[in-house]
Structure 1
């Protein structure tokens, strides 16, 4: 009662992931750049609130770290838009 006849030829469509291994590799690389950027940005504070520490304005925290974060975000966008199925000639 209510049973459907199923043949061996009836197959469910295979599910395919949106991203492939290549996409995930680039995503991991982008996350690594972002994490390194935030690590480079940290620190530089002073233990004494009455003393100002000039290290907060050094090259690493003002230029290098934000550049690393932006590069990481760019890599993430590339990883999302990358089509791993595209054939190269």
Structure 2
């Protein structure tokens, strides 16, 4: 039982996930800053959703990112 347990993701994956969550939060905050009624301005309809989609893309990359291990190069 001295075998070390492995997590599903590496440290790099978790750091990328945290970055994606931060970008998602920034996107939602941008959407709330729109001064037009019901968010029908540039921030609510264009910039905010683009930033949110970028955040989801970062999360997608974080899930599928596989860091190179030292044993792969041998």
TM-score range, shorter chain: 0.7 to 0.9
Deviations 1:64-86 (A, max 9, x none): 00011110001001101111245
Deviations 1:34-83 (A, max 9, x none): 101111111557xxxxxxx5583221111000011110001001101111
For residues 26 and 65 of structure 2, what CA distance do their matches in structure 1 show? 23
Aligned residues: 71
Moved over 3 A (4+): 85-88
* TM-score normalized with structure 2 length: 0.77
Q: Does 1:56 pair with 2:42?
A: no
- Which structure has the bigger radius of gyration? 1
* TM-score normalized with structure 1 length: 0.66
